[in-house]
Amino acid sequence: MRKAVSYFGNRYIDHFQKDLEEMKEHGCNAILHTFSENDLLFYYDTLAEMVELSHQAGFQVYIGSWGVGGIFGGEAFSRFVMKNPSSCQVRLDHEAAPAACMNNPAFRDFMRTWIDAAVSLGGDYLFWDEPHFYFPEEVLAEVMDERQQLDMQKLLSLITAGKVPWTCHCDVCRKLYKGKYGREMPEVIHESVVAFREETILNFLTGMLAYSRDKGQKNTVCLLPTGNPLIAGVAEWEKVAGLPGLDMIATDPYWFVWGEKVEEFVPDFTKKVLSLGEEFHLETQVWVQAFNVPQGREEEVGRAVELIAGLGGKNIAAWSYRAGSPMSGIKSANPQLVWQILGDAYKNL
């Protein structure tokens, strides 16, 4: 049984060694190290040492694509986006988005550079975290409530009304679209655009997984827990599960974020991932929300662990160490209690 936790926000080695011991005391035996563009530029040697220490402590190690290019999950900013505005996604209202275009050759070249560095850190898996198209910030602000939970009804109504300026409408995408469909890309979301977006993500992942696999690296792809193609990008998860070079498929049913019930949301997506693992002979992983946990609902974190394990999940991970306490934007109301409950749940497995 693998019991993981994500780790970020600290690059002091002596402090990390103490944190590793604390993780072990909480039942953890796997760790995800975030590897942002900032880490690539300034903390590479430090991360390599942290990975080595993690292995020495008996931990399985994941190297996470935290916020890279603005197309993966995470709170990190992208240097590539800032330095390469012409390689960014373009919204349907023709405004540039703060995220790289997955079809852009310059970004793909950069991603191979990131993979080279990530592989050389020596982790067991690269963790491709929620690959997605840019989601308009003003829309996100409108559909998130004060508890940082999605109002799905409001979001779906905006989608239906055509009020979401989706990406990507850049020159590269429009040229590829015209080559495939024989016509100009429409100015509104059309079923062909939805299909094109899906093909873009699948094609991008195919290239990145192949490049990583050629270097002897195992790969994990974590998919957003939704079947809506305008949010997830790829609605049919079988298409991702069947990609060459994929070793593990994961999802993160963060029920607080999505405004759902732990007893329904977590089992639904756990079953989905486990089924795909069996069908495609993949390892599986399910993530538990241990950040932005509201006051009085801390016990749900332990319940999520129990639900996943009860359904046969053998690899459970939690975001994040100490319940997000160093980052005020995602800090749980009572991070100490959440961390304690998570630890108790892990040790009971």
Q: What is the pLDDT of residues 313-322, one digit of tens each?
A: 999 999 999 9
pLDDT at position 103 over 90: yes
| Burial of 75 from C-beta contacts in 10 A (0-12 / 13-18 / 19+) | middle
pLDDT confidence bin for 330, thresholds 50/70/90: very high
Domain that holds residue 101: 2-347
Least Cα distance to 32 among 65, 2, 64, 74 occurs for 64
Q: What is the pLDDT of residues 3-29, one digit of tens each?
A: 999 999 999 999 999 999 999 999 999
* Cβ pair 169, 90 in contact under 8 A: yes
> What pLDDT does 145 receive?
66
Q: What amino acid occupies position 274?
A: L
Q: How many domains does the chain have?
A: 1
Lowest-pLDDT range of 52-61, 83-92, 151-160 = 151-160
Q: What is the pLDDT of residues 117-175, one digit of tens each?
A: 999 999 999 999 999 999 877 776 776 666 666 676 777 677 766 677 889 999 999 99
Q: What amino acid occupies position 285?
A: Q
Backbone phi and psi for residue 213, each to the nearest 5 degrees, phi listed first = -60, -40
Residues in the chain: 349
Rg (CA), the chain: 20
pLDDT confidence bin for 60, thresholds 50/70/90: very high
Backbone phi and psi for residue 58, each to the nearest 5 degrees, phi listed first = 90, 15
**For the chain, percent of residues with pLDDT exceeding 90:** 85
pLDDT at position 242 over 80: yes
Q: What is the pLDDT of residues 187-204, one digit of tens each?
A: 877 889 999 999 999 999
Average pLDDT, the chain: 94
Strands 88-90 and 96-100: antiparallel
| Burial of 37 from C-beta contacts in 10 A (0-12 / 13-18 / 19+) | buried
Q: Which residues contact 321 (CB under 8 A, 6 or more apart)?
A: 5, 6, 7, 8, 19, 23, 339
Lowest-pLDDT range of 104-113, 117-126, 162-171, 287-296 = 162-171
| 248: three-class secondary structure by DSSP | strand
CATH code at position 163 = 3.20.20.80
CA dihedral 101, 93, 96, 239 (to 10 degrees): -20
